[in-house]
């Protein structure tokens, strides 16, 4: 082949491979613009809707019936407490020998059952409040019944003490004094509980007793309990004084005159002191403790007469 012709033919091919790639200009660096700060919008506060009040449930008719039953039974228990003649709790005192605690407690047991039934069915706060008040009044009357029973027993025992001392039956008198002491100790617990734990406002749940009568009954129970305790102490001292008189008489009969005079003098001092105390007690006797007025007066007279007897023995032997 003609070399010149070959080169001429080759030239366009070489140009197609190399000559077609032209130098590209170096790109100019472009500055990246700083990002524009975008203000973050403040969050829009969302109002919290007010909670919807839960509607009060309807009062349970079953609970209402049980509440009515409890009120009726409580009124019935109060009438039994007062002997079925009146609903005046103050008409029952330590002198009320016919008081029947067991009958009252049986009625109060029925009140308790009605209260428990009402508690199981109650649906409203008003019903629960009424039930709580009824329960408080049931507890009050239970405690009052307990206290009243011991006061009646203590008053009766004091009367027996006087009778036996008057007849110089010292052993029997000592037994009765123990009964007085027991009654005085036992009555303290229910009266203290009533004073410290009961709520006078609960008296409004029944028409049978109001707040004034409730407070007056509490005063009566506490005043009678205090008076019983005091008279029990006085009765013990009279018993001891009479015992000294009997001892002085024995000494006198045995010809021990000086000893008889000394013993009689001690009896006189003790009995005179009791007489003075009883006189003061009668002067300051609380209105609600008038049930003890007669027995206190009798004990004072007994102390006075026995003091005079002791004085005679002393004069005869000194």
CA 163 – CA 126 distance, rounded (Å): 55
CB within 8 A of 127, min separation 6: which ones? Answer: 59, 60, 63, 64, 67, 118
Residue 75 lies in a domain: yes
Residue 74 lies in a domain: yes
What are the mean pLDDT values of the chain's consecutive 10-residue runs (318 residues total)?
40 40 43 51 61 74 95 93 85 96 97 96 92 93 98 98 97 98 97 88 76 93 98 98 98 96 98 98 97 98 98 95
pLDDT at 246 (0 to 100): 97
Residue 220 lies in a domain: yes
pLDDT at 27 (0 to 100): 45
pTM score of the predicted model: 0.80
Residue 9 lies in a domain: no
Residue 6 lies in a domain: no
CA 267 – CA 272 distance, rounded (Å): 8
Q: How many domains does the chain have?
A: 1
CA 50 – CA 9 distance, rounded (Å): 96
Residue 51 lies in a domain: no
DSSP string over 259-278: HHHHHHHHHHHHHHHHHHHH
Could you tell me the two tokens for 153?
């027993």
Residue 184 lies in a domain: yes
Residue 18 lies in a domain: no
For tokens 């011991």, name the residue: 150
pLDDT at 57 (0 to 100): 82
pLDDT at 306 (0 to 100): 98
Boundaries of domain holding 142 = 61-317
Kindly give the interhelix angle for 211-253 and 257-283, rounded to the nearest 10 degrees: 170
């Amino acid at each position: 082949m003609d070399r010149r012709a070959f080169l001429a033919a080759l030239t366009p091919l070489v140009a197609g491979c190399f000559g077609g790639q032209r130098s590209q200009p170096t790109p100019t660096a472009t500055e990246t613009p700083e990002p524009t700060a975008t203000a973050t919008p403040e969050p829009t506060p969302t109002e919290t809707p007010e909670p919807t009040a839960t509607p009060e449930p309807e009062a349970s008719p079953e609970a209402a019936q049980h509440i009515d039953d409890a009120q009726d039974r409580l009124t019935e228990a109060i009438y039994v407490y007062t002997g079925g003649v009146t609903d005046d709790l103050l008409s029952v005192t330590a002198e009320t020998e016919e008081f029947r605690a067991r009958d009252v407690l049986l009625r109060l047991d029925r009140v308790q059952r009605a209260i428990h039934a009402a508690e199981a069915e109650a649906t409203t706060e008003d019903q629960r409040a009424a039930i709580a008040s009824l329960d408080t009044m049931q507890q009050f009357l239970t405690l009052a019944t307990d206290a009243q029973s011991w006061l009646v027993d203590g008053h009766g025992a004091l009367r027996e003490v006087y009778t036996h001392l008057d007849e110089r039956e010292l052993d029997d008198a000592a037994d009765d004094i123990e009964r007085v002491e027991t009654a005085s100790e036992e009555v303290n617990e229910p009266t203290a509980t009533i004073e410290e734990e009961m709520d006078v406002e609960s008296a409004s749940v029944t028409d049978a007793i109001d707040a004034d009568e409730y407070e007056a009954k509490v005063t009566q129970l506490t005043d009678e309990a205090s008076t019983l305790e005091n008279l029990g102490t006085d009765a013990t001292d009279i018993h001891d004084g009479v015992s000294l008189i009997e001892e002085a008489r024995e000494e006198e009969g045995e010809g021990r005159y000086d000893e008889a005079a000394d013993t009689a003098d001690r009896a006189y001092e003790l009995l005179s002191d009791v007489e003075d105390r009883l006189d003061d007690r009668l002067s300051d006797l609380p209105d609600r403790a008038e049930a003890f007025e007669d027995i206190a007066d009798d004990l004072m007279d007994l102390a006075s007469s026995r003091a005079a007897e002791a004085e005679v023995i002393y004069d005869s032997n000194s």
